[in-house]
Structure 1
Amino acid sequence: MTDIRNRKADHIELALKPMHQSQQTAGFDRLCFEPNPLPQIALNDIELQSEFLGQLVSAPFLIGAMTGGCENGELINQHLAEAAEASQIPLALGSQRAALEQHKQQDIRRWAPSAIILSNLGATQLQQSGLDLARKAVESVQANALIIHLNPLQELIQPNGDRDWNLVLEAIENCVSKLGVPIIVKEVGSGIGPTSAKKLMDVGVNWIEVAGRGGTSWASIELERNGSERERDIAAPFIDWGMDTVELLPAVHSACPSLGLIGSGGVRHGLDIARCIRLGATMTALAYPFLAPALRSTEAVIDKISVLQEQLRWAMFLTGSKSLSELRHAALQQKLTI
């Protein structure tokens, strides 16, 4: 258990370093809205409120999953949960594996009694431990849904990572049919493309988080942690493995139009949130922008949420979009084929 705690603490320390933010952009700089100097709306009339998992949220984004299970993980979660509650923004927890294995109580609902809380487990953990582990994860925090994260590249580079991915899709299908709460499947930085999205939809998954390339590079983080020169040499060509978020969102939306999409992977501000919505996302997720505030205080997280909301509002104003549905049809410059 100490190894897991140390790994999670390493993850937080390394994720804060700029060198472990992907050297590839998420592609957002290639996507430009056509400027609208005649917005014909008032800034205060713009409506950010959205619906997610049957509940109203104040804006179409959530606090994305961050690593958990280290010594200061509880304080981070408290700050995030209190901010999520105060701001009516959903919160995705980091992997709960360490907490469950340590039989550690998770008091998220003490800080966020009414917020949307998303549990989180790795796909291979479900493959190995089955439905009981998923139930424990959800029940331990009274979650509204379960995120199942896919991270094959991270596991390949991680020392003693999981390399047997047989029956992972079947484990996901079992959760979908028997768990009783919605399932959200996400990647961690390489992306979920239309082929995999179709497979997930075929087993009943209604939500995916694309998590494309361009944000925090877990491959880079695990490479720094891996002391094997041979394994580092093998991994070197794969550090930028994956597809950009701006390529994935329209491709998946086109292939699976009924699938709920969460845009993530290099989303850094409110203009990126607007771009994700324009490309077909229903919601977006940001993790890295919240990590430093979460280490400081609840108020710092609330302030970051407020800044993101106002940036999104500005993007909508400058495109003449009074609502999110109008934003989805905002005119684009032809830098990127959509």
Structure 2
Amino acid sequence: MIAQRKDDHVRLAVEQQQDHSGRNQFDDVSFVHHALAGIDRSDVSLATAFAGISWQVPLYINAMTGGSVKTGIINRDLAIAARETGVPIASGSMSAYFKDPSCADTFQVLRTENPDGFVMANVNATASVDQARRAVGLLEADALQIHVNTAQETVMPEGDRSFSSWVPQIEKIAANVDVPVIVKEVGNGLSRQTVLLLRDLGVRVADLGGRGGTDFARIENGRRDPADYAFMHGWGQSTAACLLDAQDVGIPVLASGGVRHPLDVARALALGASGVGASGGFLRTLLDGGVPALVSQISTWLDQLAALMTMLGARTPADLARCDLLVHRDLRSFCTDRGVDTRLLAQRSGSAGTFHEMTGAHDD
């Protein structure tokens, strides 16, 4: 039953990708174009560091799958692509492994095919400390993701209906595992209040996991008979909204959900993310064209991200957070209601002299 559910998730997620080529709230964010901001490509580094974690690049393959023969093959291919491109990678939820240890290899392949890469294990908020440690041990993981997904569980026919234990359990896991803990949403977003709570629980990093990518409430509704939870489709906040809501929360944030291309990666970094995750689009590329197609896509994204940074005058991903941004349409209304001053984002490069210093320009 678990293996079938995992296969259903992949099938329904890929079907959703047909709908994700259009606009989302990342399109409500634009860079102010400064025509003399550009720097030399040779001066650009894609390396990012946060919460004691160092990555070669600010892009990662976010949690997808595992737990069945088919999903084990997908994880193998994702791991190969991660190895070939140097991007970090996360496993899907390892709950299936706890219930059926015989499927361990469908997750462990992420490490065996990618022995030197940055690998994140993934558990749910009901996992015990022992289970969290087992997940980390199985993958020799460099970090642990704990996913939170109340909307998905609510729509899932066999889902959880008891959520009160999640907060104390997250705190317990964060205090008792030996790797950084990242708490992530699965596509409905983390509000500012939630990120501040996670910080107080000892969580090192928050993956905002906003609306705009794979909609797991919609996936679970597709598994229901009848499919009577359609009103839950699109629940939550977009990733761009979550990034704006999470300004200065005191812990690093990662951005995932609705990332369609390198410009979205640059926008997310400029809005304060330390790294940016993609999953659904990468999965579709893998299933359509195999490992070579995914390696090519990721490599192209990284090259194009570096090109954008060169034009914008950002030597590092963190420097993008000093670029001037404009916020438009519904996202601007969200900021007004949540008390986010978008004028500050539009004036971050400061005066002409400060801008001159930021880009590293100098007079001969």
TM-score when scaled to structure 2? 0.84
| Greater Cα shift, 318-327 or 90-99 | 318-327
**Tell me, what secondary structure is at the counterpart of 2:172?**
helix
Q: Is residue 261 of structure 1 aligned with residue 259 of structure 2?
A: no
Q: Is residue 305 of structure 1 aligned with residue 298 of structure 2?
A: yes
Take 1:52 and 1:113, find their aligned partners in 2: how far apart are those partners? 22
- Counterpart of 1:204, as a letter, is G
Take 1:94 and 1:52, find their aligned partners in 2: how far apart are those partners? 22
In structure 2, relative to structure 1, the CA distance for the partners of 1:253 and 1:145 (3 Å cut) is: same
Q: Return the match for 1:243 from 227, 237, 247.
A: 237
Q: State the match for 1:162 in structure 2.
A: 160
Q: State the match for 1:109 in structure 2.
A: 111
Which of structures 1 and 2 has the larger relative contact order (alpha carbons within 8 angstroms, sep 6+)?
1
Q: State the match for 2:246 in structure 1.
A: 252
- Counterpart of 2:323, as a letter, is A
Identical counterparts, % of pairs: 34
Deviation for aligned residue 1:247:
1.4
Q: Deviations over 1:287-333 (max 9, x none)?
A: 01210233343322221211110221222123222322321111223
Q: Is the 8 A contact 2:121 2:143 kept in 1?
A: yes
In structure 2, relative to structure 1, the CA distance for the partners of 1:25 and 1:122 (3 Å cut) is: farther
Deviation for aligned residue 1:39:
3.5
Take 2:69 and 2:182, find their aligned partners in 1: how far apart are those partners? 27
In structure 2, relative to structure 1, the CA distance for the partners of 1:194 and 1:301 (3 Å cut) is: same
* RMSD (Å) for aligned C-alpha atoms: 2.0
Residues 33-48 of structure 1: pairs in structure 2 closer than 5 A: 33-48=31-46
Take 1:55 and 1:170, find their aligned partners in 2: how far apart are those partners? 25
Deviation for aligned residue 1:37:
2.6
- Counterpart of 1:6, as a letter, is Q
Q: Which structure has the greater CA radius of gyration?
A: 2
Residues 183-202 of structure 1: pairs in structure 2 closer than 5 A: 183-202=181-200
Take 1:215 and 1:21, find their aligned partners in 2: how far apart are those partners? 10
Take 1:307 and 1:23, find their aligned partners in 2: how far apart are those partners? 18
Q: Return the match for 1:87 from 79, 82, 85.
A: 85
Residues 54-65 of structure 1: pairs in structure 2 closer than 5 A: 54=52, 56-65=54-63
Unaligned runs of 5+ in 1: none
- Counterpart of 2:247, as a letter, is H
| Greater Cα shift, 274-283 or 12-21 | 12-21
Residues 1-338 of structure 1: pairs in structure 2 closer than 5 A: 3-18=1-16, 21=19, 26-51=24-49, 54=52, 56-103=54-101, 104=103, 105=105, 106-124=108-126, 126=127, 130-228=128-226, 232=228, 235-254=229-248, 256=249, 258-295=250-287, 296-333=289-326, 335=328, 336=332, 337=342, 338=345
**Tell me, what secondary structure is at the counterpart of 2:123?**
strand
Unaligned runs of 5+ in 2: 333-341, 346-364
In structure 2, relative to structure 1, the CA distance for the partners of 1:244 and 1:55 (3 Å cut) is: closer
- Counterpart of 1:57, as a letter, is W
Q: Is the 8 A contact 2:274 2:317 kept in 1?
A: no
Take 1:21 and 1:136, find their aligned partners in 2: how far apart are those partners? 37
Take 1:21 and 1:207, find their aligned partners in 2: how far apart are those partners? 30
Take 1:21 and 1:169, find their aligned partners in 2: how far apart are those partners? 34
In structure 2, relative to structure 1, the CA distance for the partners of 1:174 and 1:271 (3 Å cut) is: same
Take 2:17 and 2:292, find their aligned partners in 1: how far apart are those partners? 27
Q: Deviations over 1:34-68 (max 9, x none)?
A: 12332342234321122356454331111011122
Q: Deviations over 1:184-232 (max 9, x none)?
A: 1000111000111111111101101001111111111111111135xx1
**Tell me, what secondary structure is at the counterpart of 2:163?**
coil
Q: Is the 8 A contact 1:253 1:259 kept in 2?
A: no
TM-score when scaled to structure 1? 0.90
Take 1:268 and 1:44, find their aligned partners in 2: how far apart are those partners? 26
Deviation for aligned residue 1:272:
0.6
**Tell me, what secondary structure is at the counterpart of 1:62?**
strand
Take 2:231 and 2:32, find their aligned partners in 1: how far apart are those partners? 37
In structure 2, relative to structure 1, the CA distance for the partners of 1:325 and 1:156 (3 Å cut) is: closer
Q: Is the 8 A contact 1:191 1:244 kept in 2?
A: yes
Q: Is the 8 A contact 1:63 1:287 kept in 2?
A: yes
Take 1:23 and 1:297, find their aligned partners in 2: how far apart are those partners? 20
Deviation for aligned residue 1:95:
0.9
Deviation for aligned residue 1:285:
0.6
